[in-house]
Amino acid sequence: MSARNQFRLRAGAAVAAAVLFAPIVALQSHIDAETRPLAEQERELFLRSGPLVKKASLGYDSLLADIYWTRVVQYYGSRAGTPGETFPLLGPLLDITTTLDPHLITAYRFGAIFLSEPPPAGAGRSDLTADLIKRGIAANPDEWRLSSDLGFLYYWHLKDYANASAAYLAGSKNPKAPPWMGMMAARIASKAGDIDTSQIIWAQFYKSSRDENVRKNALEHIKGLQALKDEKALDEISGEYRKRFGRFPASTKDLLDAKMLAGIPADPAGIPYAIGPDGKSRLDPKSPVLIEIPPKDPGERSPS
């Protein structure tokens, strides 16, 4: 190779390196320049959005993503716990990072924590967190932990139990997912009032599992959910009885005598339901059937 060609190659490499690292240097200045107006920082960072940085990466997407992820951690770490901090650049930084490397799972999982935790521990932006995790799931369909993170977000931060159950259920269909993913979907579905869906999920566990402990647990849940459905139906009939007779029924026999029932209803164990002074039906104390109250916390949030 001639000296002229070597010079051209070196010059081209120098230009490429300058183009590659210019956004990093610029972003560093945005993050560290505390004296600059925040609006100016946000405006300049916007000009270096994920797609634009990716075009300038010259094929070094993963390397640049790692560098940007380091900046995310530094940016978050230097501000976490500061009263009044809103982390305005956190969302854009994570967008750039995951656009450069859509398979950087750490950025989705820890980034979700940074974004979702309420101030001053985090940005308190569950909306941005949901978008981030969904993009992660789309880019990494085999990573069941992201579905778990999405389920936790809906359950814990947004109190959206229907979507939480759906997220856990979707993740449970991954062959690598642990059994508790499907169990969480079923338990949260019952909390959301979707008893039929919860029963269907538990029924799938009962039919498909070869583990007798899992089958026993599933059957107990199926029975408990059926009892819950029965109690709700009896409560409605009890309310109608009060409207008609001015008092609650003392037992299910009162409902039978009033021709509001075709027979004495029994729980899945074959023991008749009781009715309390408030007119609410309940399991007999002797019944082995259990109606489980869904947990307040669906699991640990720390990525693993």
- In a domain, residue 193? The reply is no
Range of the structural domain that residue 13 is part of = 3-140
The verdict on residue 196 lying in a domain is no
125/244 same-domain check: no
Residue 116 lies in a domain: yes
Q: Which of 108, 140, 172 is the last residue of a domain?
A: 140
What's the pTM?
0.65
Is 38 within the bounds of a domain?
yes
Our count of domains for the chain comes to 2
Give the model's confidence band at 208: pLDDT under 50 very low, under 70 low, under 90 confident, else very high.
Answer: confident
Residues 133 and 9 in one domain: yes
Nearest in space to 265 (alpha carbons), one of 278, 245, 251: 251
Q: Which residues contact 146 (CB under 8 A, 6 or more apart)?
A: 105, 108, 109, 133, 136, 137, 140, 171
For the stretch 3-12, pLDDT in tens is 444 434 333 4
- Residue 302 belongs to a domain: no
* Three-state secondary-structure class, residue 176: coil
Q: Are residues 28 and 136 in the same domain?
A: yes
Give a yes or no: residue 293 inside a domain.
Answer: no
Residues 124 and 237 in one domain: no
Are residues 30 and 124 both part of a single domain? Answer: yes
Q: Could you tell me if 125 and 224 lie in one domain?
A: no
Choose the weakest-confidence range: 52-66, 81-95, 132-146, 221-235. 52-66
CA–CA separation, 142 and 51 (whole Å): 24
Does 225 fall in a domain? yes
Query: Is 198 a domain residue?
Result: no
